[in-house]
Amino acid sequence: MSIMEYNGGSVVAMVGKNCVAIASDLRLGNQALNVATFDKIFPVTDRIYIGLSGLATDVSTLRERFRFRVNMYTIKEEREIEPATFAHLVSSTLYEKRFGPFFIEPVIAGISSPSRGSKPFIAAADLIGCLNFAKDFVVAGTASSELFGIAEGLWEPDLEPEDLFETISQTLLNAVDRDAFSGWGAVVHVITPDRVITRTLKGRMD
Amino acid sequence: MECQFALTGKGYVIVASDTTAARSIVKMKDDEDKIKTLGPHMLMSYSGEPGDTVQFAEYIERNLRLHQIRYHHPLRPSSAASWIRRQLADSLRSRSPYAVNLLVGGYDIATSEPHLYWIDYLGTMAHIPFAAQGYGSYFALSLLDRYHNPEASLEEGLETLRRCISEVEKRLIVGLGKFKVKVVDRNGTREIEL
């Protein structure tokens, strides 16, 4: 079995009208055995969230590493990091380990600062930092194929925050129901220029 | 074939471990203590590669004790677990990684809450109300899903633990003999006769 499937888990992010949403399941498994609920999405700043799918130990390690790097950035630059800049920070952090990588597929969702137009932003990367700047949605994890299929069907441009929440929730729930290594609950963050709404979804606990 | 359980309850954490030290077909010892006391309010059970287990557990114990000596204050369970996880995560990509699985249970005197952390040899950490390491997890986790009560008294918690142990005794092909059970609560750590 692949090391990326050892713990299981999936993440998806979508763009809406002046908002973005990022969602993940909560499963932490040990191959076939479910061990715990494990949150994979972390706030980077008030307006940027990162979701990390893949090997759980690297999820925790990278979360600490990104927190350190973003804190250093904020101290040195005396301003908050922008989503696109953070995506490149993620990419370079992963490429540093090109020949002994972290087994992670990150998904980034955020809104740029008001001085830069409050534009919605999503990106994903592979485990060595190759960035994908999609305009519609990005997916990662053991249920990525399933997520691609449903997102392609359900997503449309310019969804309001409430509609975006419904769309991303249905995408995630139905995709992880088809995947044995994802599920066990779900969490969705909808990021708008003035607030972030976090909701926990009721899903199949099998 | 080692087996360890832990569960939280109202103001306590119970950590239980089998006491068998065996190699291949030979049982060398049946009173091995695999639960280290990391501080006045913290326990850690360990299992995995023989040698690595005791080396790593003693390394953790001594370093946490050093922290307590230096700063006149023991680390809280969440900080200690995070530090322990970091040691395993750093070890993973080193020349010879530790192959040790842990259950870290502690009582946080600042918030009066019991905490339990499941940490595996890769450095995966989960903060959960009940946990198991080893083959016993395949039998005990579903029992704990059904019977665990986070507000249970110590007696009820021990009763739930007895269920898990008897299930393992009944269904695991290897007989594990006696289990060592320790409790940590606001008064500190102590061993309990089941």
pLDDT value, residue A154: 97
Residues B25 and B175: beta-carbon distance below 8 Å: no
pLDDT value, residue A93: 97
Checking if the pLDDT of B153 tops 90, the result is yes
Beta bridge partners of B21: B29
For B68-85, the pLDDT digits (tens) are 999 999 999 999 999 999
Residues of A with Cβ-Cβ distance to B128 under 8 angstroms: 35-37
Overall average pLDDT of the B148-159 stretch: 96
With b for 16 or more beta-carbon neighbours within 10 A and e for fewer, the A30-66 pattern comes to beeebbbbbebbbebbebbbbbbbbbbbbbbbbbeeb
d(CA B21, CA B27): 6
Residues A173 and A24: beta-carbon distance below 8 Å: no
Beta bridge partners of B16: B5, B181
User: What is the 8-class DSSP label of residue A43?
Assistant: E
Alpha carbon of B32: minimum distance to chain A alpha carbons (Å): 26
For B25-36, the pLDDT digits (tens) are 999 999 999 999
pLDDT value, residue B38: 96
Nearest to A38 among B93, B123, B126 (CB): B126
d(CA A14, CA A148): 11
Q: How far apart are the first and last CA of chain B?
A: 21
Residues of A with Cβ-Cβ distance to B93 under 8 angstroms: 100
Checking if the pLDDT of B1 tops 90, the result is no
pLDDT value, residue B194: 85
Of B116, B51, B124, residue with least CA distance to B80: B116
| pLDDT of chain A, 206 residues: tens digit per residue | 899 999 999 999 999 999 999 999 999 999 999 999 999 999 999 999 999 999 999 999 999 999 999 999 999 999 999 999 999 999 999 999 999 999 999 999 999 999 999 999 999 999 999 999 999 999 999 999 999 999 999 999 999 999 999 999 999 999 999 999 999 999 999 999 999 999 999 999 98
Beta bridge partners of B109: none
d(CA A48, CA B112): 33
For B95-109, the pLDDT digits (tens) are 999 999 999 999 999
Are the beta carbons of A60 and B124 separated by less than 8 Å?
yes
Q: Hey, what are A100's tokens? A: 């002994």
Checking if the pLDDT of B185 tops 90, the result is yes
Half-sphere exposure of A36 (CA within 13 A, CB side): 19
Backbone angles phi, psi at B135, to 5 degrees: -60, -25
Q: Hey, what are B89's tokens? A: 């995560």
Overall average pLDDT of the B129-136 stretch: 96
| Residue whose entry in the numeric block shows the structure tokens 């995709």 | A175
Residues A8 and A34: beta-carbon distance below 8 Å: no
d(CA A205, CA A30): 16
Residues of B with Cβ-Cβ distance to A30 under 8 angstroms: 120
pLDDT value, residue A118: 96
pLDDT value, residue A29: 95
Backbone angles phi, psi at A34, to 5 degrees: -75, 130
The answer to whether A60 faces chain B, any CB pair under 8 Å, is yes
Helix or strand (DSSP H, E) at A55: none
Kindly give the pairing relationship between strand B12-18 and strand A196-201.
Answer: unpaired
Interacting residues of B119 by C-beta distance below 8 A, sequence separation 6+: B81, B84, B85, B88, B101, B102, B103, B104, B125, B126
